[in-house]
A and B are shown apart, each in its own frame.
Chain A
Amino acid sequence: MTNHWIDIRNSDCIMIIGSNAAENHPISFKWVTEAMENGAKLISVDPRFTRTSSKADIYAPLRSGTDIAFIGGIINYCLVNGLYNEEYVAEFTNASHLINSGFGFSDGYFSGFDQKNSKYSKSTWQYQLDENGIPKEDKTLKDPNCVFQLMKKHYSRYDADTVSKVTGCPKAMFLKVTKKYCETGQRGKAGTIMYAMGTTQHTYGTQNVRSYAVLQLLLGNMGLAGGGINALRGESNVQGSTDHCLLFHIIPGYLKTPKAGDKDLQTYLKHYTPVSKDPKSVNYWKHYPKFAVSLLKAFWGDAATEENDFAYNYLPKISGNYSHIALFEALYKGVIKGMILLGQNPAVGGPNARMERKAMENLDWMVAADLWETETASFWKGPEVDPKKIKTEVFLLPAAASFEKEGSITNSGRWAQWRYQAVNPPGQAKDDLWILNAIFTRVQNLYKKEGGKFPEPITKLAWNYGEHPSSHTVAKEINGYNLTTGKLLANFTKLKDDGTTMCGNWLYSGSYTEDGNMMARRELDDPTGIGLYPKWTWCWPVNRRIIYNRASCDTKGNPWNPDKYVIKWNGEKWVGDVPDYGKTVPPEKNVGAFIMKPEGHARIFGMGLADGPFPEHYEPVESPVENMISSVQIDPIVKVWDSEMDKIGTSDTFPIIATTYRVTEHWQTGAMTRSLPWLVELMPNMFCEMSKSLAKKKSIKNGDNVKIKSARGEIEAYALVTDRFQPFKLNGKVVEEIGLAWHYGFIGLSKGDSANCLTPHVGDANTMIPEYKAFLCDVKKA
């Protein structure tokens, strides 16, 4: 979230799209409701009428996977009718920047597409530079090569009629949403977009999010109280686990995992430290070397010296993609021999789960730590499996629950909150800190004793946590120390690139300082009155509660909405929230409101994306219709895998759209809810929601057992026949959509077939997040 949960109350218009906040983040509705009590309007855009929609002022149905068409339509309406915040757009975004005149877009392809390698060359997706190497701008936004004009042209194709044909949302309903939401472009108004996996889990999920960002920038909603684009994250510490980069492509603090070819530290730092020739630019990532060297010092301590490149050589280097889907493809091919899982259950949660379960059969060993037995740990007991043929040795380790250990977790609003131990874990169960330490110290001892392949990164790792690591010790390491004084760092501005500081994650520097554990604070001061609670726990970065908050004021430093100001310039300094700007840098210096970008401007034109600088509508890999906006059917960058279990279905065999989702009463793969009797009582069985028209056509009655089949598999579920699903009219063609809860599996107090046995193994062009939200199936009575 750019903002945070409480801040939703400051909004004038809340659009929930790609999220079902009332069901999956129920407490968010404390703040949605408060906003509505104060006059805010709630818009729910969803293929299905949900518990969120039940509370909305406007509900607009939208076929799964057509967000870009929908939002593109709003962008077009906003531009054509001049509903954007012109000062904001011209001054804070790159709308004024001139793009290489070779840039273009033609029938679904941006310039530079390399058909053979399914890749874009981005040479034309670049700013025009002046003689000093600074991007050229036209603040009047009139130059035909400026981003604003290119965008206007791009989205002129997204007129209301086209949007309606593509999305299945009736035109009048689309326009109702559009007009209401565009009102937030007025000075003093703020609109927020709340989104979740309905947005991201598509082959163009990243571009879905970008389309929201573009709209929010046009309306001047970024940085404001009650504004922002707010990803509602699903697991209690998925924000923290992402920040600490339990992902192949990044290392703690969103630093890049070195690639093969980043041969030494200097090459690596040069590769990833952005440069700006603009003397005004803050270009905050210029500090990259300080973050990276301090991390290496935290990892390898005294063994990381200037002479040995701070042990840079110890870091593994990647060549290619190792993300979830690629991982299971490699496992399927037998590349991976061993797997360690701490609290994760891909046998239910992974896409094409039958294929992922099958792939697990290639493992020599698996280590799984969890609170309950999971389908993953017990994949050898699953349907279609004969355990006597499975070679895998499995170690299932009993883990401690949240209140059986002490430590911090980071919520969606980036608040790192400390929690305490209430009781001991049951029996021999142990917390994960103990488990990780117990495993690693044994590995380290083996290497110390026996040697082995390249043992130094292991033997020399700074790992002195004793028998049971203290979460305080680790939290302090994450915060970082000045190695000369031995004192904890006050924040990341104190970091150095010469080896005199260490810091496990620069983003968390400031969370545990000489003044104490900031994450454990419980003071309820609210000096600005907008609910920032700056002394309640701690939030990254540097306790800034709303990021990009410089954009909450106009160029002169006056808040767009003085009644709900986030920061403001008092003549000497910025007051309010921790400014996302130099605290004493006056507004007239105009160093750029978005300091993390080298050009200081938010990017409406995003040259960093793999599949185009503007979000463009494509169809899901499995779709019942042809792309009505261009002749390019699917995102051209998407990789389709080719194992024998990676089948793609077509609409002649599978005419119905399927989507997956969660319900309030269960959580993720059900591993932490399907063994809780009270929750099982509420939601005992796997079910499939469908429209009355589809049910009638298939002679299905409410409560019947039905079979749902995709190109990957078949599952059974109870039918829930409801008006809350309606068929979509797509350019005259009527298409049905069904919905599947994905919580169920073959282990637990309540069991049921897994919806992911049906989902495809394809991922987003930029992030490889799987396409869980739009695929094809057929349904029949069981």
Chain B
Amino acid sequence: MEFSRRTFLKISGATTAGAILGSLGFNLLKPKAAYAQPLKIKYAKETTTICPYCAVGCGQIVSVKDGKVINVEGDPDHPINQGSLCSKGSALYQIANNDRRLSKVQYRAAYATEWKEVSWDWALSKIAEKIKTTRDKNWVTKDKNGNVVNRTEAIATFGGAALDNEECYLYSKMARALGLVYIEHCARI
């Protein structure tokens, strides 16, 4: 059976409020006037995700307001972590709000000492040219025993255990179509 996102988010919301309240033996609470700070995530949009660090696969809820991540915490419905997170998982917010994040394409020319900002279009065209030139120049049709091998050993790919399955699959498909054999990633090391 298929669960639409809308449905599960409703369930998730109800559980956060209901299950936690219930398990703690709370009656439905009346906010106490004395502490006046409003709950910051109250009107935020919630999205479920899975933690990008280790492979336990903990569920997280990302709260977004005005297109910005304002809070991340464990997904209480997730059967593995049941709302909990370690220090890394708890720090996800700082991946979203981080002035060191790359936001533009950078290029380093041969013998240059600095990065230079370039456009996607320029970079992608150059990359495609480099792949083609290197592949064509270093193409091996047959090995020394006369076996057809149809490969190039001049291009290597790395990554990525941090990619999604769909990305891994396309990466694998692309690399094989290009005739690459130096295909490796963190799973080996």
Contacts and interface: CB of A to CB of B under 8 A. Distances in A.
A330 B138 CA distance: 14
> Which of B88, B100, B126, B166 has most A Cβ within 10 Å?
B166
Nearest to B131: A443
Contacts of A447: 132
Contact of B56 (A28, A339, A520): A28
Contacts of A161: none
Contacts of B113: 387-388
B164 A432 contact: yes
Interface string B32-61: 000000000000010111111111111110
Contacts of A401: 52, 95-96
Interface in A238-278: 238-248, 251-252, 257, 260-261, 263
A251 to B, nearest CB: 7
A734 interface: no
Interface string B79-102: 111101111111110111010111
Given A316-B149, A423-B68, A27 B86 contact: yes
Interface in A401-436: 401-403, 405, 407-413, 415-417, 419-433, 436
B9 to A, nearest CB: 10
B149 A246 contact: no
A625 interface: no
A387 B114 CA distance: 9
Interface stretch (A152-160, A362-370, A577-585): A362-370
Contacts of B149: 260, 316-319
Contact of A342 (B127, B150, B160, B173): B160
A383 B96 CA distance: 30
A322 interface: yes
A251 B147 contact: no
A440 interface: yes
A323 B5 contact: no
B59 to A, nearest CB: 8
- Specify the main secondary structure of chain B where it touches its partner: mixed
A668 B159 contact: no
A416 B165 contact: yes
Contacts of A749: 100
Interface in B144-168: 145, 147-168
Contacts of B176: 251, 299, 315-316, 457
Interface residues of A, number: 170
Interface in A380-413: 380, 387-399, 401-403, 405, 407-413
Contacts of B135: 452-453
A396 B106 contact: yes
B150 A408 contact: no
Contact of B111 (A370, A372, A388, A417): A388
A712 B92 CA distance: 36
A313 B54 contact: no
A45 interface: no
A357 to B, nearest CB: 14
A327 B112 contact: no
Nearest to B153: A335
B20 interface: no
A364 B130 CA distance: 9
Contacts of A246: 157, 159-160, 168, 171-172, 175, 183-185, 187
B151 to A, nearest CB: 4
A572 interface: no
Contacts of B162: 235-237, 343, 672
Contact of A439 (B53, B77, B128): B128
Contact of A244 (B106, B109, B168): B168
Nearest to B123: A395
Given A401-B96, A442-B124, A239 B55 contact: yes
A409 B123 contact: no
Interface stretch (A68-76, A220-228, A467-475, A606-614): A467-475
Given A248-B181, A336-B153, A411-B50, 20 more contacts: A26-B87, A241-B160, A263-B148, A314-B150, A316-B152, A317-B150, A318-B181, A337-B138, A338-B131, A338-B155, A339-B156, A344-B159, A346-B189, A349-B186, A389-B111, A395-B107, A395-B126, A402-B49, A410-B55, A413-B57
